[in-house]
Chains A and B, each alone.
Chain A
Amino acid sequence: MATRALLAVVTASPPRMIQIKASTFSSSLKFQRHITTIGRCFSSDTNPSVLQPPDVSRLAETARISLTPSEIEECGAKIRQVIDWFGQLQQVDVSSVEPAIRAEMEGGNLREDAPETFENRESIRASIPRFDEVYLKVPKVLNKE
């Protein structure tokens, strides 16, 4: 985990404004692959010591996806490459910017929280891989203490 040490020593640099468009536009198109980790800097509102490179096996376990060893290797290399590239977001000064969770839109469009009967129940049941009467059937959940 050499990169972890490198990441940890990077200290906050004065946040650069987002006037980097011309250069980053072309570089983001060409994607300079070999961005050195040291070159990345984090602005003051994130804690760089927390950011560690992805551990693909652990992520796969968290996301409940089984991966073969060769998938871990192949997928891992690509994921690290992309996460590295995400690093450029750390250069943006967003200290006084509110996050936008989605496009602006009117609120108040929620319907009443009342149960309704869905007519086509047979069709839903037909999609279930295994069921027993009114129950979905799965392997035992509690294996060991």
Chain B
Amino acid sequence: MLSTLQPPRSLTLLPFRRFHGSKTIASLASSSPTLDASFVSPPQSQILTTRRSLLSGETTASEIAKSYLSRIRLTEPQLKCFLHVSENVLKEAQEIDQRISRGEEVGPLAGVVIGVKDNICTEGMPSTAASRILEHYRPPFDATAVKKIKEMGGIVVGKTNMDEFGMGSTTEASAFQVTANPWDLTRVPGGSSGGSAAAVAARQCMVSLGSDTGGSVRQPASFCGVVGLKPTYGRVSRFGLMAYASSLDVIGCFGSTVADAGVLLHAVSGYDRFDSTSSKQDVPEFDTQFLSMDSFESKPLKGVRVGLIRETLEEGVDSGVRSATQEAASHLEALGCVVTEVSLPSFSLGLPAYYVIASSESSSNLSRYDGVRYGNQVMADELNKLYECSRGQGFGGEVKMRILMGTYALSAGYYDAYYKRAQQVRTLIRKDFKAALDHNDILISPAAPSAAYKIGEKKDDPLAMYAGDIMTVNVNLAGLPAIVLPCGLVEGGPSGLPVGLQMIGAAFDEEKLLKVGHIFEQTLKGSGFVPPTLPNVA
């Protein structure tokens, strides 16, 4: 029931996008989603296509790897998505080809070219979390998620740029370089997993791993026009993920399609004895969700109850983002969903509660970086001085600020007023989500209040930067899974800027998000979400 919503203001959308003009929501809801003349072929899963073409002998892993490496060489000088590119890519690809030619089994990710965020440990490959304090650090082990990827034949192509230790929303807080958004090189890719998102958008890799503490997978996915999947807290082992805020951190997945993000999630999910917070819940075969378009019924999502979160479309959200979200809701209705508005009364409290919790936990987690056992050391004549100088010179401005804010919030006498109170607010947020999800299968909202903004625009204004996380932080506080997928374009850049739709599900129900997301994506009309700056990308 969308009668309370404003009609879509599509003037801000580019003309080639779907649902433009003066169509009303009612007329869209009754139109068939799949039988439209303007329909362009839906995006194809890179992982499933790779597997098919490798096994049929149509191409080789070496050919695929070479084409990705050459695209990296071509685009990296402008984009700067990677902090490190692996020297072993071709060698690993050749090994896969040899196995295939010998008729041996290969893993489900064989030949898949994967980027890994730099705060996820990769054995023998630099892993710095984009911080000076870990410059040149090479971990002695693989994170469990990386280990699983390698065991399944995936090729780690390199380590992607990020905001230092995940603290930021633009990737400008990297100690080493600023990543550009492939849709407009003067804009940020979002963050903190900006390198992982931009690399997938620019087809420098097929899929990538990121981490999401308050939106660090979903917001850059929205800014870069790719799919970003934040799993349920506990779904993926965090062993080898450099801890930022342990009660919130999860490893997440990027892909250019929902199927790719889902297949990657399936690969990295599951209980791990090295992470006591990982869950023993069954990991369902997500693959069965990714039916081909031909098998869709006319209302493939008939009866799915969707709650549109009212608070996410209020003042402060760009009008283009608002209309794209409302049109996405109409599209879901056209697919058979029952869309109603829901209210989360505690919604606005999530942002300050999140920043109290994240800062507090970071001040504790980052105490391990002391320059003694690994990382950069600044020598001094006294031990405390060594700590202070190593940390003072090793951490960037935003990291120092958050550690100090956390130190303040956890100080004796302040704990109840800040940290404990924020934990109580988390209880309120959890209850509100539970109530909303008791009546709905999924909830939807924008992924961010705006599309990608200019590099430097919010760099010196922490509160303006934090405000951009309003759509995503609550989901981390509640520990729920959410997927962001491109749903429209707004004006800006050479050919428009992508806007992401966020779908939030009940704990451990990624399956439903992937099913709804896949059908939404495959039936979305338009040109696909390929950035204009890319040479020769299909």
Residues of A that sit less than 8 Å from B by CB: 18-22, 24-26, 28-31, 33, 42, 45-47, 50-51, 54, 56, 59-60, 62-67, 71, 74-75, 78-79, 81-83, 85-86, 88-90, 92, 94, 97-106, 109-111, 118, 120-121, 123-124, 126-130, 136, 138-141, 143
Most A-side CB within 10 Å, residue of B274, B347, B367: B347
A100 touches B280 (CB 8 A): no
- Do residues A94 and B373 form an inter-chain contact, with CB atoms below 8 A? no
Residues of B within 8 A of A98 (CB): 424, 427
**Are B392 and A66 closer than 8 Å at their CB atoms?**
yes
Of B277, B345, B401, B426, the residue contacting A21 (CB under 8 A) is: B345
Beta-carbon contacts under 8 Å, B403-427 to A: 403-405, 407-409, 411, 413-414, 416-418, 420-427
Q: Could you say which of B96-104, B136-144, B177-185, B284-292 contacts chain A?
A: B136-144
In the assembled complex, the Cα of A75 lies from the Cα of B234 at a distance in Å of: 35
Residues in chain B within 8 A of chain A (CB atoms): 123-124, 137-141, 232-234, 246-248, 271, 273-274, 276-281, 311, 314-317, 343, 345-349, 351-353, 355-356, 363, 367, 370-377, 379-389, 391-393, 395, 397, 400-401, 403-405, 407-409, 411, 413-414, 416-418, 420-428, 430, 449, 462-464, 466-467, 470, 478-480, 507
B391, A65: Cβ atoms closer than 8 Å = yes
Q: In whole angstroms, what is the CA distance A98 to B423 when docked?
A: 8
Contact of B356 with A86 in the complex, beta carbons under 8 Å: yes
Contact across chains for A123 and B140 when beta carbons are under 8 A apart: yes
Give the residues in chain A near B463, CB-CB below 8 Å: 31, 33, 81-82, 85
State the total of A-B contacts with C-beta under 8 angstroms: 246
Q: How far is the CB of B462 from chain A (nearest CB, A)?
A: 5
Q: Would you call A50 and B417 a contact (CB within 8 A)?
A: yes
Q: Is the interface of A mostly helix, strand, loop or mixed?
A: loop
CB distance from A109 to the nearest CB of B (A): 5
Distance to closest chain A CB from B357 (angstroms): 9
A81 with B348, Cβ < 8 A, contacts A138-B372, A141-B383 known: no
Contact between B234 and A103 (Cβ–Cβ < 8 Å)?
Answer: yes
Interchain CB contact under 8 A, A75 and B404: yes
Min CB distance B134 to A, Å, is: 10
Instruction: Please determine whether B403 and A46 come into contact, CB atoms closer than 8 angstroms.
Output: no
